[in-house]
Chain A
Amino acid sequence: MAKIQLNGKKITIKTNLSIFDLLKSYKLNNKKVAIEYNGIIIPKPNYKKKYLKNNDKVEIVHFIGGG
């Protein structure tokens, strides 16, 4: 198990979980989101390579209605 902060919320995840797996667990289409991992934007091709570890901070953002 690992504890990470996802979009400002503390959550517990399985160990050896990649960003790709995390998106899948939240049923998110990786074409419609962008990821910031510990303050760094992760390019889409690296989602499968990036594994999450204790105390990581992840932000998942998408487009919403706005002016």
Chain B
Amino acid sequence: MKDLFKISNKKLKSRLIVGTGKYKNFSETAKAIEASGADMVTVAVRRVNITNKKKPILTDYLNPKKIILLPNTAGCFTSQEALRTLRLAREMGGWKLVKLEVLGDKKTLYPNMIETIKSTKILVKEGFKVMVYCTDDPLLAKKLEDSGAAAIMPLASPIGSGLGLQNKINISLIIKQSKVPVIVDAGIGTASDATIAMEMGCDGVLVNSAIANSNYPIKMARAFKNAVISGRDSYLAGRMKKNYFAIASSPKKGLI
């Protein structure tokens, strides 16, 4: 059975998407990406450092033939900022598949869904394929899908919190109703969180802090690779029925 993972027109081998922030250096970033097996990574758009001409840059460490860069609007608090960022990203190298996040609160980094839906509509009109970071509200997720989102990316818990899946019921509802991929984004704390999300039937997970902030990021990247594969296989295999009492694993016949 071929288990294809497709976002817009991009076919991905791995269901794990990783962020490239918070690593010690670019060499560690590159090694962690390699160990994670991810073929899509998120990147942010920022000003070039003009005071230091010799400073290495991230894209020198990532092979564009092997890795799909997903420009993200991390840090944008208005629709205007997010649109500006993604239009610049598109000009940089023709990126049409992008990740949109419009934040609403500095303390929780919770998405501002009103601005997010507004921005999604504009971007879709301009020809972008938009993967959208959102709250875990099924109604708003549906509105995003109707607005043309290429993927729905509900948070497990706040960005960088590592609190794991806090509202499994809502995530399940979103999975059930969505016709586009559902990727759990933000809040994943450890490998087992990713397995749980995948077992629930998520199409993918996006992880950054849980890998980059672990003691051994490269080892943790590998743990996530395996966790996502395990979760997906487990989902496809289908879990056994739960029983209230014990059911013996060995036959009674021939007992001595």
Interchain CB contact under 8 A, A61 and B48: yes
Contacts of B159 in A (CB 8 A): 67
Q: How far is the CB of A28 from chain B (nearest CB, A)?
A: 6
Please count the residue pairs between chain A and chain B whose beta carbons lie under 8 angstroms apart in the complex.
Answer: 100
Task: Give the nearest-CB partner of A23 in chain B.
Answer: B48
Contact (Cβ within 8 A) A63 B43: yes
Bound-complex Cα distance A66 to B51 (A): 21
Interface residues on A, range: 20 to 34
B235 beta carbon closer than 8 Å to chain A:
no
The 8 A CB mask of B76-105 against A (1 = contact, 0 = none) is 000000001001110111000000000000
* In contact, A66 and B21 (Cβ under 8 angstroms): yes
Question: Is B22 at the interface (CB under 8 A from chain A)?
Answer: yes
The answer to whether B53 has its CB under 8 Å from any CB of chain A is yes
Q: A26-B48, A32-B57, A66-B42 are in contact. List 19 more A-B contacts (CB 8 A).
A: A7-B50, A26-B50, A31-B93, A33-B92, A61-B45, A62-B46, A62-B57, A62-B92, A63-B57, A64-B43, A64-B45, A64-B57, A65-B21, A65-B29, A65-B43, A66-B21, A66-B44, A67-B72, A67-B159
Can you identify 6 A-B contacts, CB atoms within 8 angstroms?
A61-B92, A63-B43, A65-B29, A66-B42, A66-B43, A67-B42
User: Hey, which bits of chain B sit against chain A, CB under 8 A?
Assistant: 19-23, 26, 29, 42-48, 50-51, 53, 57-59, 69, 71-72, 74-75, 84, 87-89, 91-93, 159-160, 186, 206, 208-209
